[in-house]
A and B are shown apart, each in its own frame.
Chain A
Amino acid sequence: MKLFKIRGGVHPDDRKLLSAGRPIEDLDLPPLLHIPLQQHIGALATPVVRRGQKVAKGQLLANSQGMISAPVHAPTSGRIVGIGSYPAHHASGLNVRTISLQPDGEDRWSEDIRGEVDPFALDPGEIAARVAAAGIVGMGGATFPSAVKLNLRKRYRLHTLVINGAECEPYLTCDDRLMRERSDEVLDGARIIAHALGVSKILVGIENNKPEAQAAIAEAARIFPSIRVARLPIRYPMGSEKHLVQTLVGRETPARGLTADIGVVVHNPATAFAVHEALRYGRPLVSRVMTNSGGAIRRPSNLRVPLGTPIQHLIDHCGGFTVKPARLISGGPMMGQPLPSTRVPTVKGANGLLALTEEETRQGETMPCIRCASCVTACPCGLLPVEMAAHARAGDLEGAVKLGLMDCIGCGSCAYVCPSNIPLTQYFNYAKGEMAARGRAKQKQTETKRLIEARSARMEAIKKAKQEAMAKRKREAAAQKAAQAAAETGKQQVLEDAAA
């Protein structure tokens, strides 16, 4: 099929051979699971279990809160040993509300779990509801609740579902393995999603460094004329949703908009697989495939990991470290985040755990910018990272925003190529965070102002009402007095008349 060119991008050493040949293994259960109640973008889930309670695999542990949220389920059967704070799967190392579960070793599914024989007979809204109830979020790392995306048909005119199997981050092979080993299930999930979205056309985009996955999906798609495999050129960030869609349909997503604006919705293969499991078997999202790789890992592997497994357990399974890693990364090396410790649990959005050596990270000394424009050439969004960083560095965030800071997708291509090792992504993340904080502060300010104004208006109204009531009472009293006086005189008159 015809593909369209995107601008910029880089060609990092993909290092996928470390783990690409390793089939997905089921990871054994750790002694204790720590299941965070925030594994998604949106509101924290609220626990519905008590300490000491026995739960079955797949049983609801915490319910979603509000429109954008996701529930959390028991990854195995066992006993709830605690509901409290535990270090989050996040660079900050801060704690998050977490349910701790001690597996009983039986791994017994809940009896309430029931699949659907024909998901295509279901109403699209019902599919979205079940996906929401299964706690499925975007598993490429964005962790946006998938059901919200399934409901986009209500507001947009959609025509295509894209399954994003680009997996352009170096090292990661979990989507590759999943597409190779479970191609039928991935496509079934994709078809269910397409049904929910009300679109018939499905494109599965896979980069050319995964010929086996391309072949497996193409083979599985032979009986479905609506599904096509797009063989994508190898280039980071091909897996960026907006750039993938541009490659496939030749259109850019309007700034600040969604791909749905041009009729396309994008889902990850692992998400499609989770949808398949949820609809066909009724199984909620309780495990995911992760790539455990990097130069410091003894045996790089692809593992199906129960959510909540401490990452130390994965490392142990892979034979531990060969050397002390310079960096422990969740996700890929380009956009992943460093992990503060190996105690943190596995979460829904974690597609990789990388232990990188000094040689692999190659973080050199930062030198002054030599304006070589490599970052300008590399930027897939047509921005000027060199100028944006200069503004951000000088504290002129508005200037950086004017140059397109908010159009930056944070892919890190600029920092990757920078010969001066300038931490461009760091500047932009800081500036974006600061702008968001300012936005919140400003909103708070206007909200406070509005409330104060409303209050004084209310007070004014009350005062006025009181005054009016007082005046009214006064008037009434005066009127009564007058009436009384009149009555008195009347009485007098009558008496006088009588006397006369």
Chain B
Amino acid sequence: MNNAWLVAGPYAHERSSVARTMGLVMLALAPATLFGLVQFAWPAIFLIAVTLITALIAEAACLRIAGKPVRPFLTDGSAVLSGWLLAMTLPPWAPWWIGVVGSLIAIVVAKQIFGGIGQNLFNPAMVARVSLLISFPVEMTRFVAPEPIFSAHAPGILQGLAITFGGAQASTLVDASTGATVLGHMRTELGQGLAAPQILADSFSALRGTLGTTSGSMGETSALLILLGGLFLLYKRVISWQIPVAMLGTIALAATLMHLLDPEHFSGPVYHLLSGATFLGAFFIATDLVTSPVSARGQALFGAGCGLLVFVIRSWTSYPEGVAFAVMLMNATTPLIDHWMRPRVYGRDRKGAPLEYGDDAEKAS
């Protein structure tokens, strides 16, 4: 793939590469990830390590089998990023094989079978997460309350090894409370006929949701740190604002509307924005470059669709959280959106006909 034969320019290039793009996303993920690792301690660290290593091995094996050059594709960072994003959405104390199976699904099934980088229709991390959730609902919904590393109740290295690799139940080893996520709690309690404001008062705090000191998946609890990473990606122009703004806006709008109509059963926008994977989804999952539309208007529509589906799934289905399903459903519409929502071409109207000005050309200036 040498370009020496090229005749057409340009003979200059921006300092951009696939590896750089992936690296920037990882850099943006780093604060939220570190926070997650600290507050869920050693089991989380082991789980993310297993997930990343499996992703790399799976990628290398697939490339070898497909007869593609291993080195350039392995070093582009895409496999690590997929594994990383998957790990962010796993319950932090899940057993090791959850990470392994998840990475295999993400890399082999969702990415390489479709043809490798750039060819997948669905977000690999979300395919893996949804598959795991459906196949292993118990392991995938067993959350723990945060126990910051080195704190009194946190598991040490050996206990961490036992939790991740030994199949030990967390509660038998350490004094950790198994805490449901805010969304899960809401779903259970609503099912028992309690009113939303009452449940919220017990389980939800906007401050804790912002900082992330709640139970939840490994890397999705801190809205603040994820927002920080998202803003960094926006600043670096890796992602554009349309998807996150449209997605968050739609969730907020839908939540406000339903809350005003029926406050007993529907919680307000703050709860929806700060719980679950809303921020992670808006800035890191839905904005996945490969599986989202390319035009600005298309991205806005895509983001709005994600937001609406998240709200619908959370409110009216049997799953407490819907970001993964929502993003995957919208991924399926990406080719269609790309086909119908094209930017207007210079010198043409929206329908593609050349612009026509009246006879007032000279008045224009």
Contacts and interface: CB of A to CB of B under 8 A. Distances in A.
B236 to A, nearest CB: 12
Given A201-B365, A263-B362, A370 B13 contact: no
Interface stretch (A129-137, A218-226, A330-338): A330-338
Contact of B21 (A7, A91, A419): A419
Contacts of B355: 252, 254-255
Interface string B73-86: 10010100000000
A426 B12 contact: no
Given A376-B343, A387-B338, A371 B289 contact: yes
A366 B1 contact: yes
A110 interface: no
A150 B145 CA distance: 78
Contacts of B299: 373
A367 interface: yes
Contact of B13 (A250, A361, A380, A403): A361
Given A255-B354, A373-B289, A407-B346, A419 B18 contact: yes
A255 B2 CA distance: 36
A263 B291 CA distance: 44
Contact of B11 (A201, A242, A333): A333
A242 B10 contact: no
A367 B12 contact: no
B357 A262 contact: yes
B71 to A, nearest CB: 11
A336 B290 contact: no
A255 B344 CA distance: 12
B141 interface: no
Given A12-B14, A159-B365, A423-B8, A407 B3 contact: no
Contact of A376 (B294, B352, B356): B294
Contact of B294 (A337, A373, A416): A373
B289 A157 contact: no
A283 to B, nearest CB: 33
Given A363-B3, A384-B295, A419-B17, A255 B346 contact: yes
Given A404-B345, A426-B7, A256 B12 contact: no
A157 B361 contact: yes
A407 B347 contact: yes
A371 B118 contact: yes
Contact of A338 (B7, B17, B344): B7
A24 interface: no
Nearest to A243: B346
Given A333-B12, A337-B9, A363-B3, A252 B362 contact: no
Contacts of A364: 3, 13, 17
Contacts of B1: 365-367
Interface size class of A (residues with CB under 8 A): 35 or more
Contacts of B294: 371, 373, 376, 384, 386-387
B16 interface: yes
Contacts of A112: none
A360 B12 contact: yes
Nearest to A428: B8
A370 B22 CA distance: 10
B208 interface: no
Contact of B10 (A263, A335, A387): A335
Contacts of B352: 404
B364 A250 contact: yes
A417 to B, nearest CB: 5
Residue among B6, B345, B355 facing the most chain A CB atoms (10 A cut-off)? B345
Contacts of A252: 346-347, 355
A489 B284 CA distance: 117
A243 B346 CA distance: 9
A242 B346 contact: yes
Chain B contact residues: over half helix, strand or loop, or mixed?
loop
B164 to A, nearest CB: 32
B237 to A, nearest CB: 8
A370 B6 contact: no
B240 interface: yes
Contact of A160 (B11, B73, B117, B365): B365
Contacts of A261: 357, 361
A415 interface: yes
Q: Which of B6, B14, B295, B299 has the most CB of A within 10 A?
A: B14
A217 to B, nearest CB: 19
B342 interface: yes
A368 B119 contact: yes
A254 B12 contact: no
Nearest to A329: B11
Given A255-B355, A381-B346, A412 B117 contact: no
Contacts of B8: 412, 415, 423, 425-426, 428-429
From B117, B344, B348, B361, residue with most partner A Cβ within 10 Å = B361
A13 B12 CA distance: 9
A262 B364 contact: yes
Contact of A356 (B11, B20, B240): B11
Contacts of B348: 254-255, 404, 407
A177 interface: no
Contact of A361 (B11, B117, B292): B11
Interface string A322-365: 00000101000111111000000000000000101000111111
A212 to B, nearest CB: 24
Interface in B21-79: 21, 72-73, 76, 78
Interface of A: 7, 10, 12-13, 91, 157, 159-160, 170, 201, 242-243, 249-257, 261-263, 327, 329, 333-338, 354, 356, 360-374, 376-377, 379-384, 386-387, 403-404, 407, 412, 415-421, 423, 425-426, 428-429
Interface of B: 1-3, 6-18, 20-21, 72-73, 76, 78, 116-119, 237-238, 240, 289-296, 299, 338, 342-348, 352, 354-357, 361-362, 364-365
16 contacts: A253-B347, A254-B348, A337-B9, A363-B13, A371-B291, A372-B289, A373-B240, A373-B299, A376-B296, A404-B348, A407-B346, A407-B347, A419-B18, A419-B20, A421-B17, A429-B8
- Closest 8 pairs (CB-CB, A-B): A255-B347, A412-B10, A373-B294, A255-B354, A426-B8, A381-B346, A382-B343, A362-B13
